[in-house]
Chains A and B, each alone.
Chain A
Amino acid sequence: MVKLVFLWTDALLYVLVATVLLSAWYIRSHEHLRAPWREVLHSRLGVAAMVVLAAYVTIGLLDSVHFRMPAGGRAADGAERYSGRVLSVLDLILTPLRTHEEETYSAPLATRLYTKETVELPDGRDVRIYPRLRYGGAQLRDPARERIPDILHTVLRGAVFALVLWAALLALVVARLARRHRWRVLHALYRVLSGRTEHPWNVALYTAGALILFGSVTGHLAVHYHVFGTDKVGQDVFYETLKSIRTGLVIGTLSTLVMLPLAIVLGITAGYFRSWVDDVIQYLYTTLNSIPGVLLIAAAILMLEVYMANHPQNFQTVIARADLRLLFLCIILGITSWTGLCRLLRGEALKLRELDYIQAAQAFGVGHTKILTRHILPNVMHIVLITVVLDFSGLVLAEAVLTYVGVGVDPTTYSWGNMINGARLELARDPVVWWSLAAAFVFMFGLVLSANLFADAVRDAFDPRSGTTRGPGSGRRDVGA
Chain B
Amino acid sequence: MSDVLLEIENLETRIGAGEGAVRAVDGVSLAVRRGETFALLGESGCGKSMTALSIMRLLPAPAGHVVGGRVILEGTDLLGLSEAEMRRVRGGRIGMIFQELMTSLNPVLTIGEQIAETVHMHRRLRGRALRARVLELMDSVGVPSPRRHIGDYPHQLSGGMKQRVMIAIALAGEPQLLIADEPTTALDVTIQAEVLDLLRRLQHETGMALLLITHDLGVVAQMADQVGVMYAGHIVEEAPRAPFFENPHHPYSRKLFESVPTMDKRDRPLAVIPGSVPELTRVFHGCRFVDRCARAWEACREIAPAWRVVADGYRVRCHLYDPAHADGAPEPARVPAPAAVVRPARSDHGADLLRVTDLEIHFPIQSGLFKRISGRVRAVDGVSLAVGVGHTLALVGESGCGKTTVAKGILQLIRPTAGSVRFDGVELTTLRGRALRRRRRDFQIIFQDPFSSMNPRMMIGDIVEEGMVALGLVTDRDARRARVEELLGQVGGLPARARERYPHEFSGGQRQRICIARALAVDPKLIVCDEPTSALDVSVQAQILNLLKRLQGKLGLSYLFITHNLSVVSYLADDVAVMYLGRIVERGAVGEVLEAPCHPYTEALLSAVPVIDEASRREVIRLEGDLPTPVDPPAGCHFHPRCPRAMPVCREHYPGVTRIGEHHEVRCHLHGT
A and B touch in the complex (CB under 8 A): yes
B309 contacts partner chain A, Cβ-Cβ < 8 Å: no
Complex Cα distance A146/B509, Å? Answer: 80
Knowing A363-B445, A365-B436, A365-B471, the reply to whether A379 touches B456 (Cβ < 8 A) is: yes
B429-465 interface with A by 8 A CB criterion: 436-437, 440, 443-445, 447-449, 452-458, 463
Knowing A32-B504, A359-B447, the reply to whether A378 touches B457 (Cβ < 8 A) is: yes
A375 contacts partner chain B, Cβ-Cβ < 8 Å: yes
Q: Which of B411, B452, B502 contacts A356 (CB 8 A)?
A: B452
Q: List 5 A-B contacts (CB under 8 A).
A: A32-B457, A32-B504, A357-B453, A357-B463, A379-B455
How many chain-B residues does the 8 Å CB contact rule pick out? Answer: 29
Interchain nearest-CB distance for A37 vs B (Å): 15
Total CB contacts across the A-B interface at under 8 A? 62
Complex Cα distance A290/B662, Å? Answer: 67
B61 contacts partner chain A, Cβ-Cβ < 8 Å: no
Which A residues are in CB contact (< 8 Å) with B1?
A: none
Task: Judge whether B453 and A365 touch: CB under 8 Å.
Answer: no
Interchain nearest-CB distance for B163 vs A (Å): 26
A355 contacts partner chain B, Cβ-Cβ < 8 Å: yes
Identify the closest chain A residue to B411 (Cβ): A363
Which B residues are in CB contact (< 8 Å) with A379?
A: 455-457
Identify the closest chain A residue to B437 (Cβ): A365
Complex Cα distance A199/B522, Å? Answer: 46
Task: Judge whether B411 and A364 touch: CB under 8 Å.
Answer: no
Sort A-B residue pairs by CB-CB distance and give the 8 closest, nearest first. Answer: A365-B437, A356-B453, A378-B457, A356-B447, A364-B467, A366-B470, A365-B440, A364-B470
Known pairs A357-B455, A366-B466, A378-B457. 7 more at Cβ < 8 A? A355-B452, A359-B408, A361-B466, A363-B411, A363-B443, A367-B470, A379-B456
Interchain nearest-CB distance for B111 vs A (Å): 26
Task: Judge whether A375 and B445 touch: CB under 8 Å.
Answer: no
Which B residues are in CB contact (< 8 Å) with A378?
A: 455, 457-458
B413 contacts partner chain A, Cβ-Cβ < 8 Å: yes
B122 contacts partner chain A, Cβ-Cβ < 8 Å: no
Interchain nearest-CB distance for B462 vs A (Å): 8
B624-640 interface with A by 8 A CB criterion: none
Task: Judge whether A364 and B440 touch: CB under 8 Å.
Answer: yes
Among A359, A364, A366, which residue has the most Cβ atoms of chain B within 10 A? A364
Identify the closest chain B residue to A361 (Cβ): B466
Residue numbers of A with Cβ under 8 A of B are 31-32, 355-357, 359-367, 370, 374-375, 378-379
Identify the closest chain A residue to B530 (Cβ): A356
Q: Which of B452, B456, B457, B466 contacts A364 (CB 8 A)?
A: B466
Which A residues are in CB contact (< 8 Å) with B411?
A: 363
Complex Cα distance A364/B441, Å? Answer: 7
Task: Judge whether A364 and B471 touch: CB under 8 Å.
Answer: yes
B250 contacts partner chain A, Cβ-Cβ < 8 Å: no
Task: Judge whether A374 and B458 touch: CB under 8 Å.
Answer: yes
Q: Which of A359, A366, A367, A374 contacts B445 (CB 8 A)?
A: A359
Complex Cα distance A334/B651, Å? Answer: 63
Complex Cα distance A320/B92, Å? Answer: 76
Which B residues are in CB contact (< 8 Å) with A32?
A: 456-457, 502, 504
Task: Judge whether B470 and A370 touch: CB under 8 Å.
Answer: yes
Interchain nearest-CB distance for B98 vs A (Å): 19
Q: Which of B408, B452, B504 contacts A357 (CB 8 A)?
A: B452
Q: Which of A363, A364, A367, A375 contacts B455 (CB 8 A)?
A: A375
Q: Which of A31, A357, A366 contacts B454 (CB 8 A)?
A: A357
B518 contacts partner chain A, Cβ-Cβ < 8 Å: yes
Which A residues are in CB contact (< 8 Å) with B408?
A: 359
Which B residues are in CB contact (< 8 Å) with A363?
A: 411, 413, 440, 443-445
B489-505 interface with A by 8 A CB criterion: 502, 504
Which B residues are in CB contact (< 8 Å) with A356?
A: 447-449, 452-453
Residue numbers of B with Cβ under 8 A of A are 408, 411, 413, 436-437, 440, 443-445, 447-449, 452-458, 463, 466-467, 470-471, 502, 504, 515, 518, 522
Interchain nearest-CB distance for B424 vs A (Å): 17
Identify the closest chain B residue to A354 (Cβ): B452
Complex Cα distance A367/B466, Å? Answer: 12
Which A residues are in CB contact (< 8 Å) with B502?
A: 31-32
Identify the closest chain A residue to B504 (Cβ): A32
Complex Cα distance A32/B502, Å? Answer: 8
Which B residues are in CB contact (< 8 Å) with A355?
A: 452-453
Q: Which of B443, B445, B456, B504 contacts A360 (CB 8 A)?
A: B445
Complex Cα distance A111/B453, Å? Answer: 72
Which A residues are in CB contact (< 8 Å) with B445?
A: 359-360, 363
Q: Which of B413, B443, B452 contacts A362 (CB 8 A)?
A: B413
Among A366, A370, A378, A379, which residue has the most Cβ atoms of chain B within 10 A? A366
Task: Judge whether A360 and B453 touch: CB under 8 Å.
Answer: yes
Identify the closest chain B residue to A378 (Cβ): B457
Complex Cα distance A362/B504, Å? Answer: 22
Interchain nearest-CB distance for A289 vs B (Å): 23
Identify the closest chain A residue to B467 (Cβ): A364
Complex Cα distance A18/B244, Å? Answer: 67
Interchain nearest-CB distance for B321 vs A (Å): 45
Complex Cα distance A32/B515, Å? Answer: 20
Task: Judge whether A360 and B437 touch: CB under 8 Å.
Answer: no
Which B residues are in CB contact (< 8 Å) with A370?
A: 470
Complex Cα distance A375/B408, Å? Answer: 20
Identify the closest chain B residue to A379 (Cβ): B457
Complex Cα distance A379/B470, Å? Answer: 20
Which A residues are in CB contact (< 8 Å) with B471?
A: 364-365
Which A residues are in CB contact (< 8 Å) with B437?
A: 365
Complex Cα distance A262/B620, Å? Answer: 60
Q: Which of A360, A361, A364, A374 contacts B447 (CB 8 A)?
A: A360
Identify the closest chain A residue to B443 (Cβ): A363
Complex Cα distance A276/B437, Å? Answer: 25
Which A residues are in CB contact (< 8 Å) with B467?
A: 364
Complex Cα distance A286/B524, Å? Answer: 46
Complex Cα distance A374/B466, Å? Answer: 10
Interchain nearest-CB distance for B263 vs A (Å): 30
Which B residues are in CB contact (< 8 Å) with A357?
A: 452-455, 463
Interchain nearest-CB distance for B446 vs A (Å): 9
Complex Cα distance A367/B471, Å? Answer: 10
Identify the closest chain A residue to B500 (Cβ): A31
Interchain nearest-CB distance for A470 vs B (Å): 19
Knowing A356-B447, A356-B449, the reply to whether A365 touches B470 (Cβ < 8 A) is: yes
Identify the closest chain B residue to A377 (Cβ): B457
Complex Cα distance A379/B504, Å? Answer: 14
Interchain nearest-CB distance for B472 vs A (Å): 10
Knowing A32-B502, A32-B504, the reply to whether A374 touches B440 (Cβ < 8 A) is: no
Which B residues are in CB contact (< 8 Å) with A361?
A: 466, 470
Which B residues are in CB contact (< 8 Å) with A360?
A: 445, 447, 453, 466, 515, 518
Which B residues are in CB contact (< 8 Å) with A374?
A: 455, 458
Which B residues are in CB contact (< 8 Å) with A364?
A: 440, 444, 466-467, 470-471, 522
Interchain nearest-CB distance for A368 vs B (Å): 12
Which A residues are in CB contact (< 8 Å) with B455?
A: 357, 374-375, 378-379
Interchain nearest-CB distance for B61 vs A (Å): 16
Which B residues are in CB contact (< 8 Å) with A367?
A: 470
Interchain nearest-CB distance for A444 vs B (Å): 36
Which A residues are in CB contact (< 8 Å) with B504?
A: 32
Which A residues are in CB contact (< 8 Å) with B443?
A: 363
Interchain nearest-CB distance for A335 vs B (Å): 30
Which A residues are in CB contact (< 8 Å) with B436?
A: 365
Which A residues are in CB contact (< 8 Å) with B457?
A: 32, 378-379
Complex Cα distance A367/B436, Å? Answer: 12
Which A residues are in CB contact (< 8 Å) with B458?
A: 374-375, 378
Complex Cα distance A363/B527, Å? Answer: 11
Complex Cα distance A361/B411, Å? Answer: 12
Interchain nearest-CB distance for A369 vs B (Å): 12
Which A residues are in CB contact (< 8 Å) with B456?
A: 32, 379
Complex Cα distance A379/B453, Å? Answer: 14
Which A residues are in CB contact (< 8 Å) with B452?
A: 355-357
Complex Cα distance A360/B464, Å? Answer: 11
